[in-house]
Amino acid sequence: MSLLELTDVHTYYGESHILQGVDLAVEESEIVALIGRNGVGKTTTLRSILQLTPPREGTVRFKGEDVTGDSTHDVAGRGIGWVPEERRMFGYLTVEENVRVAVPPEADFEAEREYVFDLFPDLERFREKEARNLSGGQQQMLAIARGMVGNNDLLLVDEPSEGLAPLIVEQVVDALREASAETTLVLVEQNFPLAMDLADRFYLLDHGTVVESGATDGVTADDDRIRRYLSA
Ligand SMILES: Nc1ncnc2c1ncn2[C@@H]1O[C@H](COP(=O)(O)OP(=O)(O)OP(=O)(O)O)[C@@H](O)[C@H]1O
């Protein structure tokens, strides 16, 4: 049984048929990258998993259970964390307060704080700093930390390297590697070499379906089967 399984998922925004039968599976402790041009449905796939935009057809299974049509709150509560593209944090709250608001009421805040600060010691140094005063890389790290809170078994990360300078991207990659020792990762990533470097496997999307997939080992952007879907 796979940790996450999407079968023939069709998702719409109004009348726009965005996902047109997505099939994918993610095994425990893997890092899986979703790649493809702008607008092919990568973010929509993450939204479909979380039931933020529930699929109209097909099924999403997590830990063997069909979660299609469940509330996002319930799906997340089963152990799925989300790091949205826009990072969504509270700018006027400190790093520590941002972690605090991510901790579910029933969880132990002290334990969760220790867990994320152990994982990301840089954040501990900035714990009193307001999130709006962090650098882009530090904000991304905080967003990842917030996604890790609650002992999630799966973390969905949307465009972690977007808008970051190369040196900062390296820090974020390190943070994701730290995270992956603890949890399974599915990431949407536009930076193709980075996606191949970080992930174990990839799914290449085009027009709302998976057109290629496999191990990332040795795959380059020059690969014919990749190039025709990535170049404009
Ligand atoms: N809320 C929405 N309402 C209507 N259409 C949407 C909405 N969000 C996204 N779309 C459209 O759905 C399609 C897929 O978007 P999606 O964000 O999943 O693409 P993506 O592969 O993640 O690309 P990007 O890197 O641009 O985010 C696009 O054509 C986009 O314009």
The CATH architecture assigned to 4-230 reads 3-Layer(aba) Sandwich (3.40)
Return the C-alpha torsion angle 219, 169, 177, 43, nearest 10.
Answer: -70
Closest residue CA from atom 2 of ligand 1: 13
> For the whole model, what pTM was predicted?
0.93
Q: What is the number of the ligand 1 atom nearest to the C-alpha of 53?
A: 1
Distance CA 27, CA 45 (A): 17
Domain limits of the chain?
Answer: 4-230
- Given this model, what pLDDT does residue 14 score? 94
The C-alpha angle with vertex 184 and arms to 178 and 186, in degrees rounded to 5, equals 100
Ligand 1, CB within 6 Å, residue ranges = 13, 16, 18, 36, 38-44, 188
- Given this model, what pLDDT does residue 232 score? 58
Closest residue CA from atom 25 of ligand 1: 38
CA of residue 80 to ligand 1 center, whole Å: 21
pLDDT by position in tens, the chain (length 232): 899 999 999 999 999 999 999 999 999 999 999 999 999 999 999 999 999 999 999 999 999 999 999 999 999 999 999 998 877 788 899 999 999 988 888 888 888 889 888 888 888 999 999 999 998 888 888 998 888 888 899 999 999 888 888 888 888 898 899 889 989 999 999 889 999 999 999 999 999 999 999 999 988 888 888 888 887 5
Closest residue CA from atom 18 of ligand 1: 41
The amino acid that residue 214 corresponds to is: G
User: Which of 66, 31, 20, 46 has the alpha carbon at shortest distance from 173?
Assistant: 31
Closest residue CA from atom 7 of ligand 1: 13
- Given this model, what pLDDT does residue 165 score? 83
ipTM of the complex: 0.93
Does residue 180 contact residue 199 with C-beta atoms inside 8 Å? no
